[in-house]
């Protein structure tokens, strides 16, 4: 997956040099700094989300290909002291699938791309709830220094990467970080920077990597379900974060732990730093059907 994203970034850079960017939408700062719930649906495109120091809470720019059939729709509403912003980067699904295969085929012969590219900038000064839904395509989400209360990412067949490029943690403690992948691939780097109380990871036939190798001072409960795909979890190589793993497995699954774990009772494993009352305890509840779950150190 890392190779895929390197190629994708090179493609974006080549495309960005010749693209004509247009501002499609902006949401201004409210007087009382209300939380914004952003609901994003993208059927086929390359989407980039980045933090920005700006008086505008959300800004959306696009560079569309000549034959693009995207019809972006932006709607807002205010309810229960929360501003809701709905962004639909809609494209007819049969056309989207056809375009995806075409882009993949043409990428063997050219460094340019006919895909649509979107950049969504989020203000560092405003609290957010994010609900991000991708059908196919690519997405890169940089959450450095933002204030995210809840984050949901749903990938059907898209490649999604979540990062904290500036090494800045979430400014507030996140309640729930939910990631779901059907047939795509999702990679989350520096996940401890999210400061999430609860993490929910669901893998169908695709792949997911969660990097929990950074030390944290906060506890986190991680619930993971794997159907027929693969979930890889990276842990701290110094074994300094107390961790407990509860596993509910089937005869058709495969679970691999590091040598630092020992079984204290059937299907319950702890590392050498484990203490039941630890303030920064990582607690995993893992349910595996036919797939693979791999714990390894970074």
pLDDT of residue 33: 81
* pLDDT score of 91: 63
Is a pLDDT exceeding 50 seen at residue 109?
A: no
The chain-wide mean pLDDT, for the chain, equals 87
In tens, the pLDDT along 45-66 reads: 899 999 999 889 999 999 988 8
**Is 8's pLDDT higher than 80?**
no
Print the SS3 string covering the chain: CHHHHHHHHHHHHHHHHHCCCEEEEEEECCCCCCCEEEEEEEEEEEEEEEEECCCEEEEEEEECCCCCCCEEEEEEEEECCEEEEEEEEECCHHHHHHHHHHHHHHCCCCCCCCCCEEEEEEECCCEEEEEEEEEEEEEEEECCCCEEEEEEEEECCCEEEEECCCCCCCCCCEEEEEEEECCCEEEECCHHHHCEEEEEEEECCCEEEEECCCCCCCCEEEEEEECCCEEEEEECCCCCCCEEEEEECCCCCEEECCCCCEEEECCEEECCCCCCCCCCCEEEEEEECCCEEEEEEC
pTM confidence score: 0.86
pLDDT-wise least confident of 4-8, 24-28, 253-257, 277-281: 4-8
67 pLDDT band (50/70/90 cuts)? confident
pLDDT at 69: 80
Domain ranges in the chain are 2-297
pLDDT tens-digit series, residues 110-153:
333 447 899 999 999 999 999 999 999 999 999 999 999 999 99
Give the model's pLDDT for residue 283: 97
Note the pLDDT tens digit of each residue in 211-236.
Answer: 999 988 899 999 999 999 999 999 99
């Amino acid at each position: 997956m890392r190779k895929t994203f390197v190629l994708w970034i090179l493609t974006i850079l080549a495309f960005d040099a010749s693209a004509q960017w247009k501002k499609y939408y902006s949401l201004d700062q409210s007087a009382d700094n209300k939380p914004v719930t952003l609901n994003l649906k993208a059927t086929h495109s390359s989407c980039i989300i980045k933090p920005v120091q700006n008086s505008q809470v959300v800004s959306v720019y696009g560079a569309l290909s000549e034959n693009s059939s995207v019809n972006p729709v932006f709607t807002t509403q205010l309810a229960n002291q929360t501003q809701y912003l709905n962004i639909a980067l809609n494209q007819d699904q049969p056309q989207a699938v056809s375009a995806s295969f075409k882009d993949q085929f043409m990428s063997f012969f050219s460094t340019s791309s006919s895909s649509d590219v979107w950049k969504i900038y989020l203000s560092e000064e405003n609290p957010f709830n994010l609900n991000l839904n991708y059908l196919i395509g690519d997405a890169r989400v940089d959450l450095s220094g933002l204030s995210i209360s809840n984050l949901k990412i749903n990938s059907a067949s898209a490649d999604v990467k979540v990062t904290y490029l500036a090494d800045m943690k979430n400014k507030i403690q996140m309640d729930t970080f939910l990631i779901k992948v059907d047939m795509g691939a999702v990679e989350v780097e520096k996940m401890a920077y999210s400061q999430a109380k609860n993490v929910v990871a669901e893998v169908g036939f695709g792949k997911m990597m969660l990097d929990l190798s950074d030390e944290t001072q906060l506890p986190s409960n991680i619930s993971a379900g794997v159907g027929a795909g693969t979930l890889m979890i990276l842990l701290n190589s110094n074994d300094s974060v107390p961790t407990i793993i509860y596993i509910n497995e089937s005869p058709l699954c495969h679970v691999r732990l590091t040598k630092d774990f020992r079984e204290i009772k059937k299907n319950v494993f702890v590392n050498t730093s484990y203490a039941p009352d630890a303030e920064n305890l990582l607690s995993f509840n893992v349910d595996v059907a036919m797939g693979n779950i791999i714990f390894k150190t970074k």
